[in-house]
Amino acid sequence: MLAHFILALRTAGIPASLTEYLTLLRGMKEGVADYNVDDFYHLSRATLVKDERHLDRFDRVFGEIFKGLEPPAGDPGTEVRIPEEWLRKLAEKLLTEEERKQIEALGGFDKLMETLKQRLAEQKGRHQGGSKWIGTAGTSPFGAYGYNPEGVRIGQDESRHRRAVKIWDKREFKDLDDDVEIGTRNIKLALRRLRRFARQGAATELDLPDTIRATASNAGSLDLKLVPERHNTVKVLLFLDIGGSMDDHVRVCAELFSAARAEFKHLEHFYFHNCPYERLWKSNRRRRDSEVSTFEVLRTYGPDYKAIFVGDAAMSPYEIIQPGGSVEHWNEEPGRLWLERMLRHFRRSAWLNPMQERGWQGYHSAQILRQVMENRMFPLTLGGLEAMTRELSR
């Protein structure tokens, strides 16, 4: 049973190993868990999870494996309302970008969620009367958009309604999971990840105290010691897509920007719209005055700058591959050519996409850009940022 549990954890991406498994068994033997399900949950969590980002996944697997171990019905438990955030998150996972747009057109997401919530409340009342779930009636507006109520776990909510809630089912660590988009807490972590990558720009310098120490232990004959320099020598150029479809992602981009600003001494940023062309600009408010030619940017910043493009890559494919395809001006040369020029110039580059990774499939333009970037397109999540920093510091 426990081995099965470990395997399930590993499948879910929690790196639990044999060592930890044995530790857990020893812990049980020593009686730390006291034959109590909650304590066993706490003990196995302390033993098997080593990173708060995995706590949510752990809770999910635990719930899955130990279904039916919950205390018998009748226990006084907390009732769970469906938090709005939760519904929204799940719906976002289930719906594609286009479907979301469609919903937007139909009076907005909030209204739809409001209706769904109402419907749910009704459902609880009516269920005792013996009527059916949402969706089977065929008239629900949610069905029309491929919105499967099972996905929102309406069923589970109902069953929990009468039972004590299991701790692992509350899933309080949800916002610490590393696949979710960056939030206020998570951006701090991301920032730290950038710092680590910033420290790797290493040179060597004389370590005076260590030289003295080594010379002394060497009985007086000189022994030079060198250490890697701690200076933050990494230079970063940020190219930010602005306006249009990027409006949805303004907050996360601003967070990334301010994080990067605090981290890098050599940080320059430029804006573009959808795809970089022959002109970029430094300030969005004074766009006309602050425009610079892309050639000038390439001349000014050496190949040792790491170029990071931030954009959702959602546009018409013509904006990338056709001369004159830009939505706001006549461009002599296609965006693709400009992008390739920049990629040739900068030795290290990557593209950060604030859109969820599964959403990329829906855009031909995202596919093209990914190809141009030679697959160096990463989602703007903690996992994605880490992959990017690894790629950039290779």
Q: Specify the stretch interacting with another protein by CB under 8 A; choose among 189-197, 264-272, 304-312, 368-376.
A: 189-197
Q: Does 196 bind another protein (CB under 8 A)?
A: yes
Residue of 20, 56, 241, 312 interacting with another protein (CB under 8 A): 20
One-letter amino acid of 314: A
Which range in 16-24, 97-105, 114-122, 301-309 contacts another protein by CB under 8 A? 16-24
Window contacting another protein (CB under 8 A); options: 153-161, 190-198, 289-297, 306-314: 190-198
Please tell me whether residue 234 adopts helix, strand or coil conformation. Answer: coil
**Which CB, 158 or 223, lies closer to another protein?**
223
Residues 6+ apart with CB under 8 A from 115: 141
Closest by alpha carbon to 352, among 289, 306, 287? 306
316 binds another protein (CB under 8 A): no
Q: How far is the CB of 202 from another protein (least distance, A)?
A: 12
User: Is 329 among the residues that bind another protein (CB under 8 A)?
Assistant: no
Nearer to another protein, 15 or 155 (CB): 15
Among 173, 264, 270, 309, binds another protein (CB under 8 A): 173
* CB contact set of 380 (below 8 Å; sequence gap of 6+): 181, 182, 249, 252, 253, 256, 310, 352, 353, 354
Within 216-235, the residues that bind another protein by CB under 8 A are 216-217, 219-220
Task: Tell me which residue has tokens 């030079």.
Answer: 224
Specify whether the CB–CB gap between 341 and 277 falls below 8 A.
Answer: no
- Compose the 22-41 pattern: x for residues touching another protein by CB under 8 A, - for all others: -x--xx--xxxx----xx--
- State in angstroms the smallest separation of the CB of 336 from another protein: 37
Q: Does 128 bind another protein (CB under 8 A)?
A: no
3-state secondary structure 131-151: CCCCCCCCCCHHHHCCCCHHH
Distance from chain centroid for Cα 341: 29
Angle at 159 (CA atoms; ends 154, 162), nearest 5 degrees: 130
Phi and psi at 228, nearest 5°, equal: -65, 145
Q: Per CB under 8 A, which region of 43-51, 237-245, 327-335, 346-354 contacts another protein? A: 43-51
Among 13, 52, 231, 265, binds another protein (CB under 8 A): 52
Ramachandran quadrant class, 157 (left: phi over 0; alpha: psi -120 to 50; beta: rest): alpha
Binding site for another protein (CB under 8 A): 15, 17, 19-20, 23, 26-27, 30-33, 38-39, 42-43, 45-47, 49-52, 55, 172-173, 176, 184, 189, 192-193, 195-196, 212-213, 216-217, 219-220
